[in-house]
Amino acid sequence: MPLDRAPTASDGWPAAEQANGAEDPMIALFLLLVIVAMVLGIVGVVAKGLLYLLFIGIAVFLGALLLAALRMRRRPGKRPAR
Q: Which of 14-18, 21-25, 35-39 has the lowest average pLDDT?
A: 14-18
State mean pLDDT over 30-53.
Answer: 92
The residues spanned by each domain of the chain are: 33-72
Of residues 51 and 14, more confidence is placed in: 51
Q: What is the pTM of this model?
A: 0.61
**Spatial CB neighbours of 25, under 8 Å, sequence gap ≥ 6:** none
Whether the predicted pLDDT of 39 surpasses 90: yes
Whether the predicted pLDDT of 33 surpasses 60: yes
User: Up-side HSE of residue 59: CA atoms within 13 Å toward CB?
Assistant: 6
Distance set, CA 54 to CA 9, 30, 32, 40, 63 (Å): 45, 18, 17, 6, 14
